[in-house]
Amino acid sequence: MKCSPFILSMVFLGACEEDKNSKKFIAYNGPLEEAENIEVLFSELGFLKVRVRTAKQIKLPTEDKVFPKKVFVDFYGPAGDVITTLESDSGRYEYRTGLYKVKGNVKVVTQKKERLFSDELTWNPQTQKVFTDKKVTIENQQSGERMNGVGLDANQDFSQYSIRKPTGFFNAPAGITPN
């Protein structure tokens, strides 16, 4: 049986040609889900501790959640009343670390009439602590005092906080003398 070289070359070329009707697999890299008007409640022993609200939430394949619109957080005291509020331009929840991070024009207002401003704050629900390594400004609306600094550590309701590298002027309690 003799085969023509022409026929053999057509068979080989045909076998190498890609089927134009076959579909290539393309992995989806977009969000797993999107939701609007989100409200997340955190409680402890049946008492509401924190309420987070935002207009939009995007869940990523990494299980992280992105909050591209304004984020509002209310921190509740033992009596069930709001003692601190937080507002920011956007936020994110990192699934791997369990941390919430808010960014952009972060403003915190406490029951003690103090206002805190920063570009970024991170909240750890497990430790109930808030922190940042960014610039912060704290204003006392009653006394007019203003403290600036870099870095902050606070409990989640901001009833206690410390600025890591403070700058600015403030009134020292009686009995404290300068070095």
Q: pLDDT tens digits, residue range 30-82? A: 778 999 999 999 998 889 999 999 999 999 999 999 999 999 999 999 889 99
Mean pLDDT of the chain: 86
How many Cβ atoms from other residues are within 10 Å of residue 39's Cβ?
Answer: 9
Q: What are the angstrom distances between the C-alpha of 12 and each of 2, 19, 43, 69, 149?
A: 17, 14, 69, 58, 73
How many Cβ atoms from other residues are within 10 Å of residue 20's Cβ?
Answer: 5
- Kindly give the residue spans of alpha helices, DSSP state H, lying in the chain: 5-16
pLDDT band at 18 (very low <50, low <70, confident <90, very high): low
